[in-house]
Chains A and B, each alone.
Chain A
């Protein structure tokens, strides 16, 4: 899977969990400060990414990812 595809699917999950339009989600956006993710939504994002990509991410490290592009990098490493 190329990076663009990962990026698109990451944004799709973010849009669904945080109830945003995909077009409003920038690559550099911070989940908390720019997209307003709460602690619970952060966990849902992790769960959503795992389901979307059929992967199991490290519990500790996955919660440390702060930006959309960071999530793309982090997930890409599992693919």
Chain B
């Protein structure tokens, strides 16, 4: 674009409009520039000005005439049709077109900076040792590998070099305010890169950070926010006097209501209100909504923190060992306390206070309770609770990310090779414990937590129900349309996996399920230099993510082969039918157990306090008016329909298979 110097006439006009500059010659303007709406403004240093003539609307839809009014501008490039009004100090910024900046104290790039990229965040261990330089393309997968794979020094070193290379590419002494951003009523913004369509309104201080935003996923930074050393990605909202420092905020995240965060990472769709986060690694869908909740030095994902949840380590010796792993789908009840370090298995619920260090990761879907000051584990109980089922349905529906480029790779399947692998492992351990525990012993201590002997057999049965449900479900998914299957041979061909990449151990890479071998290959390729950039690494992870269905079936078919003792070369139709009959029986049973659990929400004990001044009839009417009826509940109806559909599908497929030769 061609720029020209100001003409004498234009300088005179600007002076007559209250503008000041000691270096008018340093100002270059677009060829179609007009002075009309440049009023009471002081210019200093090198300035570029575009065509400023149209109108601009703010987020409330109020229209303003574009122009530069009552401001001080130093070393800035200003594009077309902006409205800059009452800005006390705008310095060293490139301002995109259609940007609105109004009532801002200081908006400056002070010196060369990387705009929050490369700031080291001590997540997971506040004592350090797992520091991660944050950047505006960070994904939960890359963060997981960088923070948790410290045993592999070569990989970590290469990865840090790649991150360093990326963050250095962001270095500049000129900040950016990209097109259509709106910045209003804000005190100080220093060394912050502001993406297009960002809305900043009423913030107190934003310093050394990057805000990524786009038309489809606007980012909003609201009132009272104090943010230092940060990255905030698209579609996120940080408002309500939130106080964040050395913090990464991923896509579609909400932080507000005076939440304070330090040295923490929040990935896709997390929500943090009221409480405090210190050195946390909040994987996708980490939620903390209540006051008095302190989350400290833990890894979470798909997590819900009850009010007053707290973790600590009181054994100060060489310093606190704050590190907890709460695997996918965990929940902590009100005032649940965990002594760190500890590890909680997937989809487990923690209630009460736990004063010993334990590891329950062998047993997904567990209840962890405090009984008379002792930590007890009830394995598999959360398989048939309504909460687990509701959660697993809601997460995918609550993906707020609208950015065309979704950074975190997220799988939502409740049952998958990682979780079912854990279930199989759990069954093995329960069997082993049952074999060696005498009937005279009430409790068994497994990795620091107590399991009641009576539960060993029962919990194993619940896990087996889930396992049978999974196997049949996967076969049904794989079979798809069955009408073109004409023989047992066709059936075996349809079910044949066609590969073995997915058959071994799986990992949950902070939202993404993947065969461990695939992640190991990626790590090797980083070590060897075959993957040499963050872009290359995220692309490779994406490939694994996209192949999930294929790998997952390979794992499942291998399991079926081991389970039945038959490979897909020789598996009989009768064996497939047997798996499907088991599926039908156990899925229906599980659904009914979940329904039974949901029924508790409608029984008499839940009506306490309803119908406050009336008799039991009024109580019931009040309860129904507020909570509705069991048989009208949307979730209940959905589950009942699902059960009917399972029965219908199973009967139809089994009857079809029986006819195959």
A residues in contact (CB < 8 Å) with B = 17, 32-33, 39-40, 43-44, 46-48, 50-51, 56, 58-60, 63-64
Contacts and interface: CB of A to CB of B under 8 A. Distances in A.
Contacts of A50: 457-458
Interface in B562-604: 589, 592-593, 596-597, 604
B439 to A, nearest CB: 8
B441 interface: no
A77 to B, nearest CB: 18
Given A47-B458, A60-B589, 15 more contacts: A33-B604, A39-B367, A40-B369, A40-B376, A40-B381, A43-B381, A43-B455, A46-B458, A47-B457, A48-B454, A50-B457, A50-B458, A51-B454, A60-B596, A63-B596
Given A40-B367, A40-B369, A47 B592 contact: no
Given A32-B605, A46-B458, A47-B454, A39 B381 contact: yes
A39 B378 CA distance: 10
A17 B454 CA distance: 10
Nearest to B376: A40
B465 interface: yes
A59 B605 contact: no
A60 B458 contact: no
Nearest to B455: A47
Nearest to A42: B381
Give the interface size bracket for B toward A: 20 to 34
9 contacts: A32-B605, A40-B378, A40-B381, A44-B452, A46-B458, A50-B458, A51-B439, A51-B454, A60-B592
B447 interface: no
Contact of B455 (A39, A44, A59): A44
Contact of B462 (A39, A58, A59, A64): A59
A54 B457 CA distance: 12
Contacts of A43: 378, 381, 455, 458
A46 B593 CA distance: 14
Nearest to B588: A60
A10 B454 CA distance: 15
B446 interface: no
Contacts of A17: 454
B354 to A, nearest CB: 15
B631 to A, nearest CB: 17
Given A43-B381, A43-B455, A44-B455, A59 B604 contact: no
Which 8 pairs show the lowest CB-CB distances between chains A and B?
Answer: A47-B454, A47-B458, A60-B589, A40-B378, A60-B592, A60-B593, A44-B454, A48-B454
Interface of B: 367, 369, 376, 378, 381, 385, 439, 452, 454-455, 457-458, 461-462, 465, 589, 592-593, 596-597, 604-605
Interface residues of chain A: helix, strand, loop or mixed (majority): helix
A17 B452 CA distance: 11
A40 B376 CA distance: 10
A18 B589 CA distance: 26
A40 B597 CA distance: 12
A35 B596 CA distance: 19
Given A39-B381, A40-B367, A44-B452, A64 B596 contact: yes
A63 B381 CA distance: 12
B454 A59 contact: no
Contact of B461 (A32, A40, A44, A59): A59
A44 B455 CA distance: 6
B377 to A, nearest CB: 10
B592 to A, nearest CB: 5
A58 B369 CA distance: 25
A48 B439 CA distance: 11
Contacts of A64: 596
A48 B461 CA distance: 14
A46 B456 CA distance: 12
B455 to A, nearest CB: 6
B605 A63 contact: no
A44 B371 CA distance: 14
A52 B457 CA distance: 13
Contacts of B455: 43-44, 47
Contacts of A60: 589, 592-593, 596
Contacts of A32: 605
Nearest to A39: B381
Contacts of B369: 40
A68 to B, nearest CB: 18
Contact of B593 (A33, A47, A51, A63): A63
Contacts of B597: 39
